[in-house]
Amino acid sequence: MIGEGEPIQDSSSKLEAAKDAVKSVADTVQATTRTVADAIEAGRQPGALLDRLAAWAQASPLQALAAAFIVGLMVGRRR
């Protein structure tokens, strides 16, 4: 149980260490999310790869679905 056989100060220091660790992880996740969002936004600029891929998928959705399925099979088989 908490506090059984150990001083109360030790429990509070563990709690502070856990809070610091959670804050550090949250900051890292936020920074990573910003980086990924910026990369996606850059890829969606007119003429960029994601823009061309989206236009192709809108023009021929059945072929895009077939290509995604085949890529999924290739990736799935490697594991």
Name the nearest CA neighbour of 53 among 44, 42, 40, 66.
Answer: 44
* Residue 46: DSSP 8-state: T
Taking the C-alpha atoms of residue 71 and residue 6, their distance in angstroms, rounded to an integer, is 56
Q: What is the pLDDT of residue 54?
A: 87
Tokens of 66: 């077939």
Report domain extents, the chain.
8-77
Counting as low any pLDDT under 50, the low residues of the chain are: none
Indicate the pTM of the whole model: 0.51
